[in-house]
Amino acid sequence: MMAGSRATGTLAWWTVAFSALWALLVLSVEPACAGTRAEREIEARLRAHIGVLASDAFNGREPGTEGEAQTLRYLGKQWFEIGLVSGTNDPGNEWFAPVSVVAHEPATGTAQFLRRGYRTPIAPQDVLVLTSGKRSMVRNAPMLFVGKARGEDFTRNELAGRIAVVLDGDRRDSTRQNELLALGASAVLTVLDGTRTIDQVAARRRRSGYALSEETLGGDLEAFISRATMETLLKGTSHTLSSLEDAAARADFTPLVLDVTATLEATTTETTIRTHNLIGKLHGRNPQAGAVLFVAHWDHFGECAQPPAEDLICNGAIDNASGVAALTEVARRLARGPQLDRDVYFLATTAEELGLLGAHAFAENPPLPLDKIVAAFNIDSIAIAPAKTPFAIVGRGMTGLDRDIARVARQEGFKLREDDEANAYVRRQDGWALLQHDIPAVMVTTAYGDIARMQAFFDGDYHRPQDDLSRPLQLQGAADDVRMLAALGRWFADTRRVPPRGTAPKASATAK
């Protein structure tokens, strides 16, 4: 998309525009406003960054678009002027680390059934067939009714070469299906015997799925069939759907081979999206001592509504222009101070909204050994909380960081929640991807200091065009976040306070 040197090249107008906007915002803050002058300055800078990044000119910051180019040029220029250097540690890709994402969209799906060797006509719209690969097919495979059982109830020999038939009930996740496929089932056919319909499943599953291009893509087959269609399919065999449901409800239930075989086939179309992580760095006095990592995702959804809606753009003001704004201001505060012992890396990830893919790409091709990262702090959707909101740790108890975080909170005069309620959201953010690669990562933020307030955002403007600059931004808590995170950066970059990985307190073995 762009070479690293271009980020600092021909965009002098950004400097002028940003400086003017920031000055205007600072001057517009009344002296009687709550908070110190330093706090008001942080809020003004955050508001200015968000005003640029969440503007319609950036068109929703979608990966692989001109909105990405504008976003990375803006952030790269800000970071360079703050005093960061490229953190990719790759002379061929300074500042911008390439990430290739493959989008998969279901294309075709067909199903044919043989009942005791004779073809049973089923209308194409009555069966939905999907694959996670480019093309997958299973031919004349026997159907094994497993009811509501889970994969752990079977051996690979029982499932191999067969299509597992499961009852859906009112489930909304695919845990059982995934377990059965992982154990060797050729495919899984889900009977929609609850409230879900074929149309509802199709509306959800026919959206694009995304993966890193380096990942090995599976060819798993899944199919969905309505209750009425399944009843038709079983006519003339030794089973009815009602008898199968009764059998599945018994404690002594064992899988039943049906008098039906199936041929299933599905294809997808693939589109490659070429996007980038942005990585900056502050040099420490002793890079061999490891590093501290700060993370925020820059991406959003681009245009996410359809005409005749008037507002088509998902600007992502809170999610996550606020996060990269805070990331930038943490970098500014740390750059202003004395040189730290450890290197400090700043990572703006792509494709978080597509499945934390940018964070996974960073961990799979890191600019430094992952075991050198003593702590990672993710920043996501923070323009939520008022001043004096307590901090929460998303990921509390999952790393060895909690004790030091509590010390820093006391040192800075911040209140820290001592419960694990915020952990309910740990899988929804880039820190979760880093945890999967054994990087000690948490979110330390006021945004989850009041869970009800955060949930109200998720239930309202989240991932909608309404998350834009037309809504008032609550930046007092975000300013607290910047101060706290900068203090955490100084603490964890101090080799006297935090030893290298391997000598610190052990992390909890089980994520809560």
Of the candidates 105, 185, 170, the residue with the CA atom closest to the CA atom of residue 138: 185
Q: Specify whether the CB–CB gap between 392 and 445 falls below 8 A.
A: yes
- In this structure, of 29-43, 272-286, 340-354, the range with the lowest mean pLDDT score is 29-43
pLDDT of residue 169: 81
- How large is the average pLDDT for residues 42-66? 97
Top-confidence residue, 422 or 177: 422
Number of H helices, E strands in the chain: 14, 17
Task: Point out which residues pair with 268 in neighbouring strands.
Answer: 106
pLDDT at 216 over 70: no
pLDDT of residue 172: 60
Rounded distance between C-alpha atoms, residue 338 and residue 285, angstroms: 10
Q: Which two tokens stand for residue 93?
A: 């890709």
Q: Specify whether the CB–CB gap between 138 and 186 falls below 8 A.
A: yes
The letter for the amino acid at 311 is D
Q: Specify whether the CB–CB gap between 444 and 485 falls below 8 A.
A: yes
pLDDT at 353 over 80: yes
Top-confidence residue, 63 or 21: 63
Q: Specify whether the CB–CB gap between 354 and 210 falls below 8 A.
A: yes
End-to-end CA distance of the chain: 40
pLDDT at 496 over 90: yes
- In this structure, of 18-27, 160-169, 193-202, 332-341, the range with the lowest mean pLDDT score is 18-27
Which residues 6+ apart lie within 8 Å of 409 measured at CB?
A: 391, 415, 416, 484
Residue carrying structure tokens 């009977």: 191
Q: Which two tokens stand for residue 388?
A: 């004096």
Rounded distance between C-alpha atoms, residue 177 and residue 420, angstroms: 30
Rounded distance between C-alpha atoms, residue 208 and residue 206, angstroms: 6
Q: Which two tokens stand for residue 5?
A: 């040197």
pLDDT > 70 fraction of the chain, expressed in percent and rounded: 89
What's the pLDDT band for 151 if we cut at 50, 70, 90? low
- In this structure, of 24-28, 301-305, 463-467, the range with the lowest mean pLDDT score is 24-28
- The H or E element spanning position 107 is strand 96-115
The letter for the amino acid at 59 is N
Residue carrying structure tokens 């202003």: 336
Q: Which tens digit of pLDDT belongs to each residue from 62-98?
A: 999 999 999 999 999 999 999 999 999 999 999 999 9
- The H or E element spanning position 143 is strand 135-147
Of the candidates 131, 191, 181, 187, the residue with the CA atom closest to the CA atom of residue 154: 181
The chain-wide mean pLDDT, for the chain, equals 89
Long-range contacts of 365-371 (CB under 8 A, 24+ apart): 365/97, 367/87, 367/88, 367/89, 367/90, 367/97, 367/279, 368/89, 368/291, 368/343, 370/437, 370/438, 370/439, 371/438, 371/501, 371/502
pLDDT at 32 over 50: no
Q: How crowded is residue 6: how many other Cβ atoms within 10 Å of its Cβ?
A: 16
Which residues 6+ apart lie within 8 Å of 374 measured at CB?
A: 290, 291, 292, 342, 440, 492, 498, 500, 501, 504
The Cβ-side half-sphere exposure at 6, using a 13 Å CA radius, reads 10
Q: Which tens digit of pLDDT belongs to each residue from 367-392?
A: 999 999 999 999 999 999 999 999 99
Domains of the chain (ranges, CATH numbers): 4-100+274-377+420-443+462-471 (3.40.630.10), 103-270 (3.50.30)
pLDDT of residue 35: 66
pLDDT at 29 over 60: no
pLDDT of residue 173: 64
Task: Point out which residues pair with 449 in neighbouring strands.
Answer: none
